[in-house]
Amino acid sequence: MSSTAAITVAEAAPETTAPRRVLIVLLGAIGDVVRALALLGRIRRAWPDAHLAWAVEPKSSAILEGHPWLDELIIYDRRRAPWGFVSFLLEVRSRGFDLVLDLQRHLKSGVTSWVSGAADRWGFAAANTKEFNHLFSNHRIEPQPRMRLKLLQYQAFGDALGIPAAPVEFGLEPSIDERARAREMLADAPRPLIGVILGSSWPSRIYFPESIAAVISGVRSSSDGCTPLFPVLLGASSETPLADAVISHLGGAPALNLAGRTGLRDLAAIFAECAVAFGPDCGPMHIAGAVGCPIVSLWGSTAAERSAPWGYQDFALTGDIPCHPCYLRDCPIGRECMRRIAPQDVIAAIRRAEHGRAISAPPIADGSDAQRTASR
């Protein structure tokens, strides 16, 4: 599926009067925030003069800081609980929003939506929520199939509001300074590059270091007639032991280890320099896809049908095992699902994804909307 595809409104919905002040509530996961950017772009196109705000936690806020489609961030820092949540709610209440879209579907986001005082508070249907979240909204979208892509589930809010369909775009183009920093970090790495995403917030989703090393060894060889790819290891500070294990399995073969040295904005710029990337279900996987880097994603405890990066679903590989997807954070059987993803299959998918780059790259906005959003 191409990431340039436009979202089609499934059912005719009445045009909504343009609101003055809109709040998106999506506090947590990096990957969720990235996928919801496509809805933000659709809203900005439909309501160019509206004030658009986003309630988010610090771990994902870097994705949104300075975003051209967004006017305001409201940060909830859970480390300051419980009083931090109270001050966060007071801040939301003071903004005078008239439309809130609760994309989080938990109790905390429902309370945030309700406390806003907005006349129109949209949320998911009861079947798609947890912790009585649906009780805090006064409008709900149609129930969503559990295994529908999350990006499309978020787009269902645009359908319900009756705003026009729009190309799926994310607006994560790195700045000049971010590109310069990325090129400095990558200065000694020969091109073309492959981004190697090491970790994930769930231990059950992590690929094995010996398997990662086997993939790297396969794609850095020219024996298959393809151009060798130079590996750039990417991960959080907590994933440096995994990076060290991968390097150990490489047996002295060169690699650039950036684990623990990059922020989210750095990742966007680094992926923009890569010919292709691979890794498990995680936020950086979605960042790679959003900036047009072909991404081969590896799936075990979670489902590609629901969460694969937009436009790169064809490059998702799943471990063939009856318990998939279990949605367990910790695997009781040693991540057998990830073990069953063979390195040679990952290598073949990487070569396919590398040559599909031009087809899958997201579009550059054009026309008056592009000029309007670029100036925000």
Angle formed by the axes of helices 30-46 and 283-290, nearest 10°: 40
Distance, in Å, from the CA atom of 100 to the CA atom of 112, rounded to the nearest integer, reads 9
Distance, in Å, from the CA atom of 57 to the CA atom of 24, rounded to the nearest integer, reads 13
Specify the pLDDT at position 115.
98
Specify the pLDDT at position 79.
80
- Find all residues with CB under 8 Å of 319, minimum gap 6, and list them: 298, 299, 300, 336, 337, 338, 339, 340, 341
H-only helix segments in the chain? 30-46, 58-64, 83-94, 107-115, 150-161, 176-185, 209-219, 240-250, 264-273, 283-290, 304-307, 336-339, 343-355, 357-360, 367-374
Distance, in Å, from the CA atom of 7 to the CA atom of 149, rounded to the nearest integer, reads 12
Contact between residue 350 and residue 342 where contact means Cβ atoms under 8 Å apart: no
Angle formed by the axes of helices 209-219 and 240-250, nearest 10°: 50
Distance, in Å, from the CA atom of 305 to the CA atom of 59, rounded to the nearest integer, reads 25
> Buried b / exposed e across 98-108, counting CB within 10 Å, b at 16+?
bbbbbbbbbeb
Distance, in Å, from the CA atom of 367 to the CA atom of 72, rounded to the nearest integer, reads 24
- Stretch(es) of the chain classified as CATH 3.40.50.2000: 21-171, 176-360
DSSP state of 167: B
Distance, in Å, from the CA atom of 360 to the CA atom of 289, rounded to the nearest integer, reads 9
Residue-by-residue pLDDT tens, the chain, 376 positions: 333 344 433 333 444 589 999 999 999 899 999 999 999 999 999 999 999 999 999 999 999 999 999 999 999 998 876 788 999 999 999 999 999 999 999 999 999 999 999 999 999 999 999 999 999 999 999 999 999 999 999 999 999 999 999 999 999 999 999 999 999 999 999 999 999 999 999 999 999 999 999 999 999 987 777 899 999 999 999 999 999 999 999 999 999 999 999 999 999 999 999 999 999 999 999 999 999 999 999 999 999 999 999 999 999 999 999 999 999 999 999 999 999 999 999 999 999 999 875 333 333 233 333 333 333 3
Nearest to 21 by CA among 55, 63, 66: 55
Reading the block at residue 59, the tokens are 């771990």
Specify the pLDDT at position 16.
59
Provide CATH code, domain 176-360.
3.40.50.2000
Specify the pLDDT at position 85.
93
The pairing of beta strand 99-102 with beta strand 120-123: parallel
Reading the block at residue 237, the tokens are 């500070």
Contact between residue 357 and residue 276 where contact means Cβ atoms under 8 Å apart: yes
DSSP state of 5: P
Superfamily in which the 21-171 domain is placed by CATH: Glycogen Phosphorylase B; (3.40.50.2000)
Residue that the structure tokens 């905390």 belong to: 108
Specify the pLDDT at position 81.
67
Distance, in Å, from the CA atom of 288 to the CA atom of 296, rounded to the nearest integer, reads 10
What pTM does this model have?
Answer: 0.89
Beta bridge partners of 371: none
- Find all residues with CB under 8 Å of 223, minimum gap 6, and list them: none
Distance, in Å, from the CA atom of 211 to the CA atom of 336, rounded to the nearest integer, reads 13
Specify the pLDDT at position 84.
87
Contact between residue 294 and residue 312 where contact means Cβ atoms under 8 Å apart: yes
Distance, in Å, from the CA atom of 194 to the CA atom of 276, rounded to the nearest integer, reads 5
